[in-house]
A and B are shown apart, each in its own frame.
Chain A
Amino acid sequence: MGETILKLDKVTKVYPNGTVANRDINMEFEKGEIHSIVGENGAGKSTLMKMIFGIESPSSGTITYKGEEVHFASSLDAIKAGIGMVHQHFMLIPSFSVVDNIILGDEPKNGIFLDRREAVRKTQEVSDRYNFELDVTEKVSALSVAKKQKVEILKTLYRDAELIILDEPTSVLTPQETEKLFEQLRSFKKQGHTILFISHKLEEVKQISDRISVIRNGVSKGTYRNDELTMEQLTNLIIGRDLESDIDRYKTHEDFHNEKAAVIEDLCLERNGKPVLDHVSLAVKKGEILGIAGVEGNGQLDLVRCITGLEKTKYEGKIMICDTDTSGMNIKGRRDLGMAYIPEDRMGDGIAGPLPISDNMISTYYTRDDINTKLFMDNRAIDRISNELIDTFAVKTESNKTSVDSLSGGNIQKVVVAREYNTRPKFMIAEQPTHGIDIGSAEFVHHKLIELRNSGVGILLVSADLNEVMDLSDRIIVMFDGQIAGYFKNARNVTDQELGMFMLGASHQTPEEIGGALND
């Protein structure tokens, strides 16, 4: 046993709305270990980490850091004490550049002035070390979620904290990026740093951890050495039962006669003079899931923004949704055609945090007849529908009037998915649909997507999780550098190595082969 660096003693947290998020948690963390905390959505992982980092204060119980009882008044105190944290929901200043966000509070000085050139050089160097491919002078508000995640990681690693907390840092990273991050974490560990790691991807947890602590319903279910736990035991500890093995999700579904839910032809988009989409053509058929694989930043995001109508820059090409040309239509018009959209940035686009769950559950179909009377909105119907959705999607909450921002990360994601599911779509765009969702619930969301598909909905799936894309999709395209680099008619016959070659630009199919994305 190494020396204990952090000790939690009977830590309890009750939130102002009465939710008991943690209850009598006892945990010890050793210097120089990688210690994972796992548990279902809403189990209380983030809350526990926030207390260690001084963002929340325990309702009762004590936290002992380096042998001394601590009561951090804010995260500043924690940072001073040598603790760093990567937050599940980013704590970045959108109007600042990447550099400014990273160095904030720890600026390289040149006398009394900020040494900007040095700052840029240093941060760029750190970023390059992880192959994060960030332009550190870019504004954070312009970044994708995956890039923001990387900035959040860099911000913490840059400070070289002794105790590093990572709250779901990998949920939007590709496997390659995760591997890079893990290398770094292992080297930190060698230098004697302690790492607290949270993830719903249990393979990752098994791969990186020395020890694993399990929280269920706010209560600690014990700490185990990684090598004395099998995957099955771990699953069982987390959800209190075994995960049902996959029921047949590929049950032959009805034939929708090659009807198209959406058709995109020759889509081109330039940003700052650079082409980000280069003659992209594809069709999403009714009753299929078309998966898009690719390393983030190769045009997937831009493609989705064009299709949804959120893109402000003018694009060239044609986008048809349910046989209607959408040129000149804003997102409202496109939604009216039957489009639903699960956005990757759930906090930015997907919710109005301070408003109750019920308000958030209907925003994309609030004019629909079943929740309106002639003059007013039918609050009773809204309550009924939101409660049904809360039940179906197992959102962990006291009531449908709880504000969405007081839900746990995974539960917020469930609210977004539930809402879009309930728009009764004909065509759905699902970006990172299971981002931050625990294994049990991810399974459920997948089933829901399959169910939609089997009822004739065309789904365009974009995900950094290659397994998700391969498991769910009927057909797959790979995007590289704004183009479709590869197209696979039968997702069942592809291996991840094969996809990997296309994702990294090492392979490229002929235009005829790629044409299948539109014409098959």
Chain B
Amino acid sequence: MTEKKQKINLSITNPKVFEVVKMVISILIALAITLVILFMISDNPVRAIVTILTGPLTKRRYIGSVIESFIPYAFSGLAAGVLFKSGAFNLGGEGIFIISGVSIAAVACNQLTTSGVLHPILCFLAAIVTGGILMIIPSFLKAKFGTNEMVVSLMLNSIYSGVAMFIIRKFLLTTTTSTIGSRDYFKTAKIGYIFEPLRISPCLILLIITTIVMYLIMFKSRLGYQIRLAGTNPKFAEYSGISAFKLSIVTAVIAGILCGMGASCQLLTQTSFYLPEQSLVGIGFSGMLLSMLGRNNPIGIVVAAFLIKYLEQGTSILYFVDRAVPSEIVAIVEGIVILLISSQYFLRGFREKKLLKEGLEKDAK
């Protein structure tokens, strides 16, 4: 059996090929269902679907907006992916995003440095440290006191958004408008564009590097191996000499750092002030969906984030031409795709029939 060079099996019986085929077919089905819905609500369904699918490409500004807005979501997805892979049901990304926003605002609203390079970096560091430390809490409490990390993390989400409100009101409140938000950042804190027309900022480069690093960590490194073991059977990990406690802290820190990066990208490129009730809400939770869509694979997650943001952009463009189509239609696509790719049964019968034939043929030899 050693050194048996196998021809690469491109048929659906190869699990990896099957996974991809399943993904593509899921997306197609979701789009088909969307089309059916469009037929019901829109006078011009074909135009509608064409607009959704190609709209973002029609103007530089549109695709630029996709590129800019998907970045924080991708970071959030990466964070959720690490946590889920390690077997932690920590849903704290949402709160971590919001609370690291406060750190960012605090640094960005103070002229700590006059360097336009150093200032954003300081903001990043503040967010990363905040995220990395606070994300530990649910894992720590679970390891030490056996509390349920899902409950704790959800509770912390509420607490953090309250705390964020408090700090902003008390220390950083804007005086120019009546909304509850931070003052405008100093100009030096803003992240500029490298290529303005497509809104490409250093954040995109950071995301690409981070994705590659996360991929290497998950699939090539010893840490990734430990995460896989502990995520599938914690008792086995312990038996093998892997400290579950240490590992849960390390993964939480990584996830926290990723959230901090995501929050920084969101706040330092898209806005010049921080509104705790708006600026970052929902990104943490979306990350969990993305990690499901991307099957906890860093590259899959980032691609999923891009596609979802692309579709959202498409529907919002459609809204200008066809008011009958609500932008929530994206949520339908998202929901159907997740349902289909996470279903064990979808396409299984088809694959098994092929397997039966192949298996019997091989066996007969």
Q: Give min CB distance, B234 to chain A, whole Å.
A: 9
Report how many A-B pairs have Cβ atoms within 8 Å. Answer: 101
Nearest A residue to B18 by beta-carbon distance?
Answer: A16
Are A387 and B1 in touch, CB under 8 angstroms?
A: yes
Known: A387-B1, A391-B2. A351 touches B236 (CB 8 A): yes
Are A14 and B221 in touch, CB under 8 angstroms?
A: no
Are B236 and A376 in touch, CB under 8 angstroms?
A: no
Mark out the residues of chain B between 259 and 298 whose CB falls within 8 Å of any chain A CB in the assembled complex. none
Residues of the A chain whose Cβ atoms lie less than 8 Å from the Cβ of B233: 348, 351-353
Interface segment, A180-188, A241-249, A361-369, A440-448?
A: A361-369
Residues of the B chain whose Cβ atoms lie less than 8 Å from the Cβ of A351: 233, 236
Q: Measured between alpha carbons, how far is A390 from B233 in the docked complex, in Å?
A: 22
Q: Give min CB distance, B298 to chain A, whole Å.
A: 15
Q: Is the interface of B mostly helix, strand, loop or mixed?
A: helix
Are B225 and A377 in touch, CB under 8 angstroms?
A: yes
Chain B, interface size category, equals 20 to 34
Q: Give min CB distance, A62 to chain B, whole Å.
A: 16
Q: Give min CB distance, B54 to chain A, whole Å.
A: 38
Nearest A residue to B360 by beta-carbon distance?
Answer: A20
Are B238 and A376 in touch, CB under 8 angstroms?
A: no
Residues of the B chain whose Cβ atoms lie less than 8 Å from the Cβ of A16: 348, 351-352, 355
Q: Measured between alpha carbons, how far is A276 from B363 in the docked complex, in Å?
A: 52
Q: Give min CB distance, B343 to chain A, whole Å.
A: 14
Cβ of B115 within 8 Å of any chain A Cβ, yes or no, is no
Cβ of A270 within 8 Å of any chain B Cβ, yes or no, is no
Residues of the A chain whose Cβ atoms lie less than 8 Å from the Cβ of B2: 384, 387-388, 391
Contact of B239 among A20, A336, A343, A387 (CB under 8 A): A343
Q: Measured between alpha carbons, how far is A349 from B229 in the docked complex, in Å?
A: 11
Contact of A364 among B222, B240, B348 (CB under 8 A): B240
Mark out the residues of chain A between 59 and 86 whose CB falls within 8 Å of any chain B CB in the assembled complex. 59-60
Mark out the residues of chain B between 135 and 175 whose CB falls within 8 Å of any chain A CB in the assembled complex. none
Q: Give min CB distance, A427 to chain B, whole Å.
A: 15
Cβ of A372 within 8 Å of any chain B Cβ, yes or no, is yes
Are A376 and B216 in touch, CB under 8 angstroms?
A: yes
Q: Measured between alpha carbons, how far is A376 from B216 in the docked complex, in Å?
A: 8
Cβ of A1 within 8 Å of any chain B Cβ, yes or no, is no
Interface segment, A102-110, A130-138, A327-335?
A: A327-335
Contact of A375 among B221, B228, B238, B355 (CB under 8 A): B221
Residues of the B chain whose Cβ atoms lie less than 8 Å from the Cβ of A14: 352, 355-356, 359-360
Are B359 and A350 in touch, CB under 8 angstroms?
A: no
Q: Measured between alpha carbons, how far is A390 from B3 in the docked complex, in Å?
A: 12
Cβ of B232 within 8 Å of any chain A Cβ, yes or no, is yes
Nearest A residue to B228 by beta-carbon distance?
Answer: A355
Residues of the B chain whose Cβ atoms lie less than 8 Å from the Cβ of A372: 222
Are A18 and B358 in touch, CB under 8 angstroms?
A: yes
With A352-B236, A375-B221 already in contact, 20 other A-B pairs whose C-beta atoms are closer than 8 Å? A12-B360, A16-B351, A20-B363, A59-B352, A60-B356, A218-B363, A330-B243, A331-B239, A341-B239, A348-B233, A352-B228, A353-B232, A366-B240, A376-B220, A376-B222, A377-B221, A387-B1, A387-B2, A391-B1, A391-B2
Please name the 3 residue pairs, one residue from A and one from B, whose CB atoms are nearest each other, closest first.
Answer: A332-B241, A363-B240, A376-B220
* 8 A-B pairs with C-beta separation under 8 A: A59-B356, A330-B243, A348-B233, A366-B240, A367-B222, A376-B216, A376-B221, A379-B220
Question: What residues of chain B have their CB less than 8 Å away from a CB belonging to chain A?
Answer: 1-3, 6, 13, 15, 216, 220-222, 225, 228-229, 232-233, 235-243, 348, 351-352, 355-356, 358-360, 362-363
